[in-house]
Structure formats: C-alpha cells, structure tokens
Chain A
C-alpha cells in the first residue's frame, strides 16, 4: 500500500534525524569531563558553578542577595575580609591594619599601598569614602550597614569611620561585599553619586551590571539575573592570582545541580539539601552548619494573643519541642540552635547548652499557664526553602510535638509576601521564621531584644525585660572580645529561659564539588570564596 510506504519512509527519516541529533555527546562543553558518574579536572582554566540564583544586581551599593554576595566578593575588595570558612576574625584586605577608639565610635584604617583597580587606576582613600558613603546614601538593601556611620579620608592613605553610637561590629560589617570599593572616577562618570540625595541621584547601577569597577581578583564579563554570570580573572589583581581564568556561575535548579556535578558538567553545586547530597560519590562534599537560624516566635503582645504572651505558655512551647527530631529531619550537618546566635559566631553558646525537650515539664508549664488546651495558628512561609529545608515540613513537626503537650496548632502556610506582612507588622500569634546573618558579629542579633527590629515582630516591646536590655546596651558598647563573648552568652542564656523566641535549628550548608578542586570551603557570608579555590 503506497500510503504505508510513505509512512514507513517518514518514520525512518525521523528516527535517523533523532539518532544523529543524539549521537554526539556534549562536546562543546569545554571545561569539564562528560562521562557519567565521574568528575574530572577542567581541561582549561574554566570553573562552572551552579546555584539557584537569588540575584538582582551586582552593584555593591544595591546588592544584598546570596548570589550577589558570592559574586561581589570576588569582584570588589573590601577594607577587611575573612579567609576560608573562618568568620570569627576579620583579616586585612584593602586595609592593612586598623585601630579602634576605646568608645567603639572611631575606627582608623591604613590602606594597602600600590593597589590598582582592574582598569589600572590606583585605589585611594577617596575611592573608599565614596564607595562607603554611596552605599549609605543610596538607601538600598545594604544601606543599613552604614547606618549612623560616616567615612572620611584625612590623608591619601587613611580612612576614618565615625559612628554616632558605639559600634563594635564595624570590622565585621566592613567585610560585607556590599561595602566593596569601587573606582570613584569611573562610577561618577557612569552617573554614580555618594551625595545625601544618592537615592535619586545615583544612576550607575546599569553600568555596574555591565562593567565591574573593582580591584578584586575577578572582573565582570557578562551578567544576567536569570541565566548566568561570567567572571574573568583580573590581570591587575594585587593578591595571589586565582587559579581559574574564567568562572561561569549558572542559574540551575537544585536537583539538576546534582546531576550536572556528577556528570562533570559543573564543578560546584551550591544548593543541595542533605537528602540530595546523601550517597553521592566521586565528588567532595563540604557539610557544616549554616548560619541561618530557624526559630519559633510566640507573640508577647497580649493584644495579639493572651495565650502566647503568657510566660508559662512560652515555657511550655520551649520545653515541648523535640529538638533532636528537628535536627534529624534537617539531615546530616544540621545542628540544634543553642541560642539566637549561630554556633560559629562569637558569643554563641557551646553545643548542648540549648533548650532541652522535656514533655512532662512542658505539660506542667501548660497547666500552670492556665490557658487550658489552646488552639493557635502557626504562620510560616510555605513557598520558600532555606538550605533545602521546607518551612512546611518543619512546621508540621512542631505541630506534632506541641500536640503532645496539649497545644493544638493549626498550620497556616502562606506565600512569603503575604506572611511577611503579618510577621513584620508583629501581628502573628505564632510564627516560624528564619534569620540569616547580615554580618558575622553577635551585634547583629541584638535585633532580637525587646524594642528592637525582630523583638517587635514578636510583640516584645522596649521595657519588657529591663535587665536583658541593659545587658544588650553594655554588649553593644564593649570592644574587648572576651568580655563581649561573656555578655552575649549571658544574653542567650537569659533568652533561653524567658523570651518569646525559641531557636530551633541551624540547617546544614552543603557544597558539593569536583574532587579536583582544592580548598573548597563553605563561608557563612558569601557561600564560597571562588578566588581561593585551587
């Protein structure tokens, strides 16, 4: 039958075309091996990094997203920085040394000599002042880092930061890539401004998303908020030359990152959860606790809830949560939060000193509270994950634990944008949230105290705990690290006994890399330092 012959011929042609399209492997993929289940060293000095982009810009004065932090860290030098995974002590970067006044209000930095921007211009104190004041005055996401701080340049080699209040966190704050130093002349030429009206006057973002104007180990080659960002090694970099001549950072969903790194299509996968990383072979896995902190809040404002503001009820919740089961749920690498300050920061409490699960005590607390067996809504963002942990999963486990205490929790998962409104407005009776560090210093966690940013979200108003607030004031003005550590630990112990916050877990932060990579380390601030890789 002729029709049949035609159809048969069509099938043969289709199969032939299909097979020829499939016949060659990913030969164009340059930098990496392609055999399944193995990873190999790049043939050329290219590095492919895959992450789920949280990226809006790489203009340091406007950037404050995880992917942006990772990129800007290698595009822009900062006065101080951290090496590897150690975020306890800032080390010199553009500043070779600094001194702090006894009242923690004045910091004087001496700049490194002979440093040049990627374009060959020398880095001067004027560039530093311009960069810091631009970030401050743009009123963008990272502007709070410079709140109350003024930068001046008394000499070509010296920068002075003056704070209106004692600020012991300034050295830690200055490590943030949002305070990266840009070339003033080039940024001004592109419409940049550090003036008081920079929020409206500065027009340099588009330019900085095309050409980086920094002195870091890499320069920006191409930028897209959804596809990939390409970096090229800076030939004028003053420090150790980075190993990779070109870094391609691709926006890839986590489950695909796993397959790509296993096939050698990429060398680093940033966003795998403990479950996804489990059982992977032929790769190196860097697994440690993340500085992100999941916590539960029980609103202290009786107008929001007479139940959750009851101190005995708060104790019942604190005692009634099975922290070990939450850690198990979060997977290998996760740890119980011993307090609101993550375990890797100064002032945190040692492992094992967090709240403990005691069901009998929790039931006794609930009985003593006199609220009976209340039914409460637990609000959480249902459409986001942090370090691969879903809020919904965690909330369900909390619900289960509190059910045994006698507290009926109704899960109220909401879109993050909706949930944020009630959370930031201090209107949630119970909420499940997380806090990521703005800078790796315990001062960042003073936000949880009564009357402060997060404290108010839990209805914890100023004057609610005068002794704790006094401790906080003392801690914020103390410069001695050993004294600071003692003070912050006192704060945490007090909050672990009585506060509307119940710190739950720090999830695992996992990096999966090709075995050929050397010095792959996880960093609490910028995930991974791409310039340190060997």
Chain B
C-alpha cells in the first residue's frame, strides 16, 4: 500500500466508460481552446507585424527594384499586399482552413513546405537536448537532494547555477572551439558531413530516417552532429531541472509519510524513487514541458552558430525580412507547440498521480 493511500481518503473510482467519456470531454475542451488560441495568435501576429514601421516590399526588393513602380506593384500583387488589411487577414484565415499558409517572401516557397523542412531539424535537436537534460538534470537533482548540504550537493548546486547563469551563445562558441576546433572530438556545424546526402526522407529526423533505412554511416554522422548543439542546449535545462528536482524532493522528504515509509523499514532506494521522486515528478514535468517548448521554438543563436537549419533560423530570417506569411506560420507553430506540450504535461500528471486522474 502506498503512503499516498495512507494519508489521503479513498476516492471512489468511476466506471471505465465514464472515465473515457471524461477524458474525451477533457480533450475536446482543450482542442476547442487550442483552436481559439491559434486564431487569436494569428490576429496578434498579423496586427503586430503590421505595426512595425517597415514595408515588406522594401525589405524584399533590391535597391533598384524598389524604385521601379512596376516591380513594387508586382511584388504587392503577388503577396496580396495590395488589398486592404482586413481583407488580407480574412483571406489568410480562409486559406488557413485549407491548409495553405501562404508563400514565403524570402524563400518564394509555400510556408508549409518551409516549415516541413525546418521543423524536423528543430524537433530532432530539441528531443536530443530534452532527453539528455532530463536524464542528467533529474539524476543530479536526486543526488543533490539525497546528499543535501553535503559535498555532492554543494558541487551540484554550483554546477547547476553555472548552467543557468552562462550565456548560451558563449557556451556554444566555447564548446565549438574546444570540442571541434581544438580537440576534434566532435564534428562542426550542420546536420551531416558536408559531402553526405541526407538519408531517404521519412520523418525528416535524420537519425530516425537513417536508422529505419539501415543507412548506418549516415545515422552515426547525424548522431555525432547532434551531440555538440544538443549538449549546449542541454546545459541550461540541466541546471533548471537539477534545481527544481532538488527543491521538490527536499520539500517532499520532510513529509510525515516519507518518515513513515522509512520507519516501516522500506529500502532507501524505494523511499527515494517511489515515495519522494514520483510525487516530485509533477513539478519536474511541468518545467521539462516548458523547457521542451523553449528548445523547440527559441534556439536561434545555437542554430546559427552550429549552422543548424531549424525553425529558429527560419523565424529570425522571417522577422528581419518582414516576411509576413512566414512570421504567421512560425507563430502558429510555436503556439501549437505550447498547446500540445501543455496538453501532454496535463495528461502526464494523471499518469504520475492517480489522484489527479481521478479528479
């Protein structure tokens, strides 16, 4: 019997059918909220982009073409900029319903095609970084909590503080210089070696695609190229997760039921992992979810330094070129990331803590 069931009154379990209905209703509610949120994001992005005192035609046409009324008119017509703003927005929403995010003014391709190219690179990097940082961060947090106020804890606290304090671009440059240039342990920028062709496309995640198709040389190359940017991205998240894990566990370790579990003679490993870490996971997962969203949508500097063709670089170039369709597309993607991550985190709460699932 778990200590939770000792301290908490028993909650009557609803029937399976009722639970499924509740889950369906919960998912539908979240889906509806998500759709409203996405539409709101398009409106905000549209309005804010138009408040910038710049002209997409000036941003995208050359110094001579901008002086040619025919070229300017052709550009405005091509991207629908010659229509009134409300009409532009309504047309955008209408096209959005058909899965058309418009044509990028910088790449001259459908935004959806651009996103399909850049998002997998970011997902692969973010997944690598979040898995690495969760394993290391939670592990260090557990050690720090177990050895609270002893030397392992002190060392880990210093390390985690350094992780959250160091500017990420600086860490990236130093890591690149040391591990690639000086020591040659890891490859430099890009997702593959320059002369290698990408693996046969399936998911866009090179490691996955190469492994699925048995292209092991490519798999190894893709994995090695992930390590350096992944490590750099993980450093900050490791710091955050270590501190959160430690703090959460120390708070829980002071509870009566933990003392009761120890008094019952349970092994320390069981007490720590089952009765302390498990309840602490609720807050850890919240932090990890937000961190994953950040990794997926906000890695411009690291992507730039490591020549990583991800969504961060695309967003940056879209912004400086006032590429409205691309900015809208990226905004939608980022909003979608946070909606999905929050939904997954909410569902994971239920997996970790039955009381949340039942309520």
Main secondary structure of the interface of A (DSSP, over half): mixed
Judge whether B264 is part of the interface by a CB distance below 8 angstroms: no
Determine whether A56 belongs to the interface, using a CB cutoff of 8 Å to chain B.
Answer: yes
Knowing A31-B195, A225-B106, A228-B194, the reply to whether A36 touches B181 (Cβ < 8 A) is yes
Judged by a CB distance under 8 angstroms, whether B61 is at the interface is yes
B269 contacts A22, CB within 8 Å? no
> Chain B interface: which of A246-254, A370-378, A460-468?
A246-254
Q: A139-B70, A226-B317 are in contact. Are A248 and B177 (CB under 8 A)?
A: no
Which chain B residues numbered 221 to 253 have a C-beta less than 8 Å away from chain A?
221, 223-224, 227
Whether B77 is near chain A, meaning CB under 8 Å from some CB there, is: yes
Residue in contact with B58 in the complex, picked from A10, A420, A436, CB distance below 8 Å: A420
Answer yes or no: B162 CB below 8 A from chain A CBs: no
Would you call A147 and B68 a contact (CB within 8 A)? yes
CB atoms of A435 and B71 under 8 A apart: no
Tell whether A30 pairs with B194 under 8 Å between CB atoms, given A7-B143, A141-B62, A263-B188: yes
In the complex, identify which listed stretch (A199-207, A271-279, A347-355, A399-407) lies at the interface while the others stay far away.
A199-207
Q: Does B182 lie at the interface of the complex (its beta carbon under 8 Å from any beta carbon of A)?
A: yes
- Interface check B305, CB cutoff 8 A: yes
Taking CB atoms, residues of chain A closer than 8 Å to B192 are 28
Q: B64 contacts the other chain (Cβ, under 8 Å)? A: yes
Cβ–Cβ contact B181 & A259, under 8 A: yes
Q: Is the CB of B320 within 8 A of A263?
A: no
Known A-B contacts A417-B55, A417-B322; the reply to A3 vs B272 at CB < 8 A is yes
Chain B count of residues within 8 A CB distance of the other chain: 74
Alpha-carbon gap, A250 to B139, bound state (A): 38
Cβ of A363 < 8 Å from any Cβ of B?
Answer: no
| Contact status of A417 and B66, CB under 8 A, knowing A22-B185, A226-B314 | no
Q: Shortest Cβ distance from A168 into chain B, in angstroms?
A: 18
In Å, the complex CA distance between A145 and B283 comes to 62
In the assembled complex, B214 has its CB within 8 A of some CB on chain A: no
CB distance from A200 to the nearest CB of B (A): 7
- B261 on the A face (CB < 8 A): no
* A29 B322 Cβ-Cβ under 8 A: no
Q: How far is the CA of A52 from the CA of B66 in the complex (A)?
A: 24
Q: Which residues of B contact A256 (CB under 8 A)?
A: 176, 188-189, 305-307
Which of B106, B186, B194, B320 is within 8 Å of A415, CB to CB?
B320
Known: A26-B187, A228-B194. A418 touches B64 (CB 8 A): no
- A417 contacts B59, C-beta separation under 8 Å: yes
Contact across chains for A259 and B195 when beta carbons are under 8 A apart: no
Q: Determine which residue in A199, A206, A417 has the highest number of CB atoms from chain B within 10 A of its CB, and name it.
A: A417
User: Chain B contacts of A57 at CB under 8 A?
Assistant: 108
Contact between B77 and A417, CB atoms less than 8 A apart: no
- A226 and B317 alpha carbons, distance in the complex (Å): 9
Does the CB pair A421–B58 fall under 8 Å? yes
Tell me which residues from 33 to 91 in chain B have a Cβ below 8 Å from any Cβ of chain A.
Answer: 52-55, 58-68, 70-71, 73-75, 77-78
- Which of B185, B272, B307, B313 has the most CB atoms of chain A within a 10 A radius of its CB? B307
- What A residues does B78 contact at CB under 8 A? 199-200
Interface size class of A (residues with CB under 8 A): 35 or more
Inter-chain contact A226/B52, CB cutoff 8 Å: no
CA distance A7 to B118 in the complex (A): 38
Report if B338 contacts A (CB, 8 A).
no
Residues of A within 8 A of B181 (CB): 36, 259, 262-263
- Which residues in A have their C-beta under 8 angstroms from that of B179? 22
Most buried by A among B75, B184, B195, B220: B195
A517 to chain B, nearest CB (A): 16
Task: Please give, as numbers and ranges, the residues of chain B lying within 8 Å of A417 by CB-CB distance.
Answer: 52, 54-55, 58-59, 320-322
- Tell me if B309 and A224 are in contact (CB < 8 A): yes
Of B63, B71, B313, B314, which contacts A140 at CB under 8 A?
B71
Residues from 88 to 129 in B contacting A, C-beta threshold 8 Å: 106-109, 117-118
Q: Does B146 count as interface, using CB distance less than 8 angstroms?
A: yes
Please tell me if the beta carbons of A421 and B180 are within 8 angstroms of each other in the complex. Answer: no
Chain A residue contacts of B65, Cβ below 8 A: 64, 140-144
Q: Is B279 an interface residue when CB atoms closer than 8 A count as contact?
A: no
Contact: B176 with A259, CB < 8 Å? Answer: yes
Judge if A266 is at the interface, Cβ distance under 8 Å.
yes
Closest chain B residue, CB of each to CB of A384: B320
Question: For residue A222, which residues in chain B have a CB less than 8 angstroms away from its CB?
Answer: 197
- Map CB proximity to B onto A47-91 as digits: 1 under 8 Å, 0 otherwise: 010000000110000101000000000000000000000000000
Interface pair B143/A144, CB less than 8 Å apart: no
Does B346 sit at the interface, judged by CB under 8 A?
no
B353: interface (CB < 8 Å)? no
A1 (CB) vs chain B CBs: closest residue: B268
A169 within 8 Å of B (CB atoms) = no
Residues in A neighbouring B73, C-beta threshold 8 A: 139
The answer to whether B64 touches A250, judged by C-beta atoms less than 8 angstroms apart, is: no
Shortest Cβ distance from B118 into A: residue:
A226
Task: Assess whether A34 is in contact with B269, with CB atoms less than 8 Å apart.
Answer: no
Name the one of B55, B117, B220, B317 contacting A421, with C-beta atoms under 8 angstroms: B55
In the complex the two chains form, what is the Cα distance from A144 to B74 in whole Å?
13
- CB of B120, distance to nearest CB on chain A (Å): 12
Cα–Cα distance between A438 and B193 once the two chains are bound (Å): 35
Q: Contacts A36-B184, A253-B304 hold; do A418 and B67 have CB atoms under 8 A apart?
A: no
Q: Are B184 and A34 in contact (CB under 8 A)?
A: yes
Partner of B193, one of A6, A23, A26, A225: A26
- What 7 new A-B contacts, CB under 8 Å, besides A26-B193, A453-B67? A7-B139, A7-B143, A57-B108, A143-B65, A256-B176, A256-B188, A265-B194
Nearest 7 Cβ contacts at the A-B interface: A417-B54, A22-B185, A139-B74, A28-B193, A30-B195, A199-B74, A29-B193
5 A-B pairs in the complex with CB atoms less than 8 angstroms apart: A227-B191, A253-B307, A256-B307, A415-B320, A421-B58
Residues on A close to B: CB < 8 A?
Answer: 1-3, 6-7, 10, 14, 21-26, 28-31, 34-36, 46, 48, 56-57, 62, 64, 138-144, 147, 199-200, 205-206, 209, 222, 224-228, 246, 248, 250-253, 255-256, 259-260, 262-263, 265-266, 383, 415-418, 420-421, 424, 435-436, 438, 453
